[in-house]
Amino acid sequence: MKEPAVTDAPSEQNQARDTPADDALIAELLPLALEAARRAGALLRDGRPDDLAVAATKSSPVDVVTEMDIAAEKLITGYLAEHRPDDGFLGEEGASSVGGSGVRWVIDPLDGTVNYLYGLPTWAVSIAAERDGETLVGVVGIPMRDETFRAVRGGGAFLNDRPIRCRPAPPLERALVSTGFNYVATVRTHQAEIAQRLIPRLRDIRRGGSAAADLSDVAAGRLDGFYERGLHPWDLAAGDLIAREAGALTGGRPGTRPGWDLTVAATPGVFEPLQTLLEEYGAWHD
């Protein structure tokens, strides 16, 4: 299945200067995103039932939606709509509206659902606000790590209240890189073949299970890079901004934005050789 490329994550750091009106809008959006992520994270962390049920499947029987995914998205969209009723929404669990304000919220209420289902700690709430196809605000909350990553366009990236930067670039052979795998078996098999070819060229590969968390960890200097095929806008919108504002480079295939075909984020010096290898190995096709 082919998905359109994400339209809210430019492949190069945006250099545009915000106007006072932009600054005022960003100052309004960021606290709302932070509070919505906090509330959803608390719901997911504290409200997880012992007998958590799968509510539906998506791309395959192993790609699941739980009752908590749906509840968290309703909480987020309800809170944001209460404060900004004219904004649009794009959410993983079905929230979709154009709105009339020019602002759209791109939401993954529970990124890493399978981790959550199994009681693993790496799952995240991802909320981004975009205007005219450009992300202005990104928040990724990782409740089980007691961490909230945030960024605004041109304002740097933060972990809780601490500024963060990506790591200094190592040689590619000493780079620690994370990736993700599709839930469709044939696609996942191809992705495993790509990882097998990459491993001898890198320090090692990790698989965390949440693209939003992986992108945030690139921003925090915990990873040298991240790549994945098959990400939707809600998977990467917030994390992409956070990574870029922390000094990382992001893109898709050479000359394109991050999106369904490929998403790459890495510290400068690792980004280009990693992207080049992924292109050479055909990481962008099923």
Beta bridge partners, 158, equal 150, 163
Mean pLDDT of 151-170: 97
Q: Mean pLDDT over all residues of the chain? A: 91
The closest alpha carbon to 37, from 88, 4, 63, 76, belongs to 76
pLDDT of 154 strictly over 60: yes
Rounded to 5°, angle at Cα 276 from 239 and 283: 70
Mean pLDDT of 222-230: 97
- Specify the pLDDT at position 11: 40
Lowest mean pLDDT among 150-154, 184-188, 215-219: 184-188
* Cα separation, 51 vs 193, whole angstroms: 36
Band of pLDDT at residue 55, cut at 50, 70 and 90: confident
In order, the DSSP letters of 113-146 are HHHHHHT-S--EEEEEEEETTEEEEEEEEEGGGT
- Specify the pLDDT at position 17: 61
Identify the burial level of 18 via C-beta atoms within 10 angstroms of its C-beta, where 0-12 means exposed, 13-18 middle and 19 or more buried: middle
- Specify the pLDDT at position 2: 38
Q: How many helices (H) and strands (E) does the chain have?
A: 7, 15
- Specify the pLDDT at position 3: 39
Lowest mean pLDDT among 114-118, 137-141, 279-283: 114-118
- Specify the pLDDT at position 57: 64
The closest alpha carbon to 220, from 251, 242, 240, 252, belongs to 242
Identify the burial level of 2 via C-beta atoms within 10 angstroms of its C-beta, where 0-12 means exposed, 13-18 middle and 19 or more buried: exposed
Q: Which domains does the chain have, with CATH numbers?
A: 20-164 (3.30.540.10), 172-281 (3.40.190.80)
pLDDT of 38 strictly over 60: yes
Identify the burial level of 120 via C-beta atoms within 10 angstroms of its C-beta, where 0-12 means exposed, 13-18 middle and 19 or more buried: middle
More confident residue, 196 or 15: 196
Q: Buried b vs exposed e over 79-107: b needs ≥16 C-beta within 10 Å?
A: bbbeebeebbbbbbbebeeeeeeebbbbb
pLDDT of 214 strictly over 50: yes
* Cα separation, 124 vs 238, whole angstroms: 11
* Cα separation, 21 vs 29, whole angstroms: 12
- φ/ψ of 215, rounded to 5, equals -60, -40
The closest alpha carbon to 188, from 252, 271, 114, 120, belongs to 114
Count of residues making up the chain: 286
